[in-house]
């Protein structure tokens, strides 16, 4: 059998240790499929002596992880350190500059520095791979980059954050409020002590910006993702959505707008109302799912575990097997120089139906004030419900007929500053076909 592919592993948290476990458990199978063994030769982490539940004695130890790629016993560096900058980025740069391949699960680093790293990897003719950075164990980067490569992708969207999906589906099942379910998720280890990255939508936005670049052949533009999280959702919103035939899911969605030569890129992370007969409505718990709509393939759906050490390790080692088989093709499916810089899309003209929820003071005339503003902005109401009190406020929730997003925004601007509203209105798009 051919020479082993020699791996340096940086970062020995849960997912780093998962890679060790996988490479050990499935060693024979991996060698058969890859055509040669995949062998971890050296590991590095901040603390050498921490108990991790795996035996590190078969592997060399490197104190300075940044130089892993310069070692002669290393062909590929697996970066499992995390963080968009700092040691992870330093390691990525030195590895590629040393002419070694890099595999990472680091969505933040790729969202912020992926283009720079991909350009460097092209220069050095080495692979840069990050299947595990998006949707955990689901081979969705491969699905877009290769499986759907023949298609113009019209839209890519999905459930990209398992923590949010766990919280939302638990709120749905139990009728409990956000803060309550979040606290439970934290206690049970499903959410971080500082959950902002997840529940504010940043993590999903990182992933979406990566998917968009691959789907549309565009430069990553994480900063342009219109991002909202799930923190403002109430149990009553979920109940109301259910009564109307929807579930609420945090959806990341990207598509191009405009015509060739003047294309723009729409990228949004926001809770959406998802019709119960849509495949994404049945994605529960920490599961992720991505839909890509191609002009010939039609709708493709990829679904699976979005996080966890096993699934993440599965994606990392799939990348390693590709490298062992000789793959060095472009990280974003085409050379970085050919990726288009697409400006952010105007969203005002986007046609959609929306769920709009107001918390209002319980006094006469408030409903008239709201409906007048909607009328004056040209928003047509499909259904409206006023619910009983929640504290001092009353909930007024409605679904609009299809119309431009600008109209809803105008209606809200007309109501801005009104002392009838006890908090800013909440607007959620309804996922269309």
Min CB(187)–a copy of itself separation in Å = 23
Q: How far is the CB of 21 from a copy of itself (least distance, A)?
A: 8
Phi-psi region of 86 (alpha: psi -120 to 50; beta: other; left: phi over 0): left
**Of 225 and 291, which has the nearer Cβ to a copy of itself?**
291
Annotated active-site positions, please?
207
Beta carbon nearer to a copy of itself, 326 or 364? 326
- In 3D space, the residue among 400, 104, 405 whose CA is nearest the CA of residue 226 turns out to be 405
CB nearer to a copy of itself: pick between 198 and 319: 319
- Give how far Cα 177 sits from Cα of 170, 239, 411, 427, Å: 9, 11, 28, 18
The footprint of a copy of itself (CB under 8 A) covers: 18, 22, 25-26, 29-30, 32-35, 131, 137-139, 142-143, 146-152, 217, 277, 279, 282, 289, 294-305, 308, 310-311, 313-318, 320-322, 325-327, 329-330, 333-334, 338
User: Which tokens is 16 given?
Assistant: 């780093």
Q: Please say which residue, 300 or 431, places its beta carbon nearer to a copy of itself.
A: 300
User: 214 with 333: CB under 8 angstroms?
Assistant: yes
Q: Residue 288 phi/psi, 5° resolution? A: -115, 160
Q: Quick one: 184 or 284, whose CB is closer to a copy of itself?
A: 284
Q: Taking the complex as a whole, how short is the minimal distance between the CB of residue 418 and a copy of itself, in angstroms?
A: 43
User: In 3D, which of 269, 419, 415, 433 has the Cα closest to residue 356?
Assistant: 415
Identify the CA nearest to 64 among candidates 34, 94, 23, 41: 94
Query: Which of the 8 DSSP states describes residue 380?
Result: P
Q: How far is the CB of 413 from a copy of itself (least distance, A)?
A: 40
Q: 345: which residues sit within 8 A by CB, 6+ positions away?
A: 256, 257, 258, 264, 265, 266
């Amino acid at each position: 059998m051919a020479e082993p592919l020699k791996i340096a592993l940086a970062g020995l948290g849960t997912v780093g240790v998962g890679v060790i476990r996988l490479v050990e458990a499935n060693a024979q199978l991996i060698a058969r499929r890859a055509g040669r063994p995949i062998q971890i030769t050296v590991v590095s982490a901040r603390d050498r002596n921490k108990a991790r539940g795996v035996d590190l004695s078969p592997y060399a130890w490197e104190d300075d992880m940044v130089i892993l790629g310069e070692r002669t016993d290393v062909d590929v560096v697996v970066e499992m350190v995390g963080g968009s900058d700092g040691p992870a980025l330093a390691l990525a740069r030195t590895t590629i500059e040393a002419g070694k391949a890099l595999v990472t699960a680091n969505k933040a680093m790729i969202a912020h520095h992926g283009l720079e790293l991909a350009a460097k990897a092209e220069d050095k003719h080495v692979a840069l791979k990050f299947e595990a950075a998006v949707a955990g164990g689901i081979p969705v980067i491969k699905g877009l980059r290769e499986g759907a490569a023949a298609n113009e992708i019209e839209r890519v969207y999905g459930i990209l954050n398992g923590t949010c999906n766990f919280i939302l589906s638990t709120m749905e099942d139990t009728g409990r409020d956000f803060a309550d379910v979040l606290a439970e998720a934290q206690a049970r280890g499903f959410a971080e002590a500082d959950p902002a990255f997840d529940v504010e939508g940043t993590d999903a936005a990182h992933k979406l910006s990566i998917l968009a670049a691959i789907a549309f052949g565009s430069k990553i533009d994480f900063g342009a993702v219109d991002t909202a999280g799930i923190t403002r959702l109430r149990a009553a919103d979920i109940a109301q959505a259910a009564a109307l035939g929807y579930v609420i899911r945090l959806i990341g969605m990207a598509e191009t707008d405009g015509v060739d030569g003047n294309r723009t890129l729409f990228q949004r992370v926001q809770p959406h109302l998802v019709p119960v007969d849509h495949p994404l409505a049945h994605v529960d718990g920490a599961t992720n799912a991505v839909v890509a709509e191609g002009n010939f393939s039609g709708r493709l759906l990829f679904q699976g575990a979005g996080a966890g050490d096993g699934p993440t390790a599965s994606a990392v080692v799939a990348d390693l097997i590709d490298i062992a088989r000789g793959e060095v093709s472009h990280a974003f499916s085409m050379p970085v120089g050919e990726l288009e810089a697409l400006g952010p899309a105007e969203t005002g003209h986007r046609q959609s139906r929306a769920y709009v929820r107001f918390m209002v003071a319980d006094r006469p005339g408030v409903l008239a004030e709201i409906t007048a503003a909607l009328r004056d902005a040209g928003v047509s109401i499909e259904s409206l419900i006023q619910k009983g009190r929640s504290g001092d406020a009353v909930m007024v929730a409605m679904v609009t007929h299809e119309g431009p997003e600008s109209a809803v925004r105008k209606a809200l601007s007309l109501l801005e500053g009104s002392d009838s509203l006890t908090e800013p209105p909440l607007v959620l798009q309804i996922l269309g076909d």
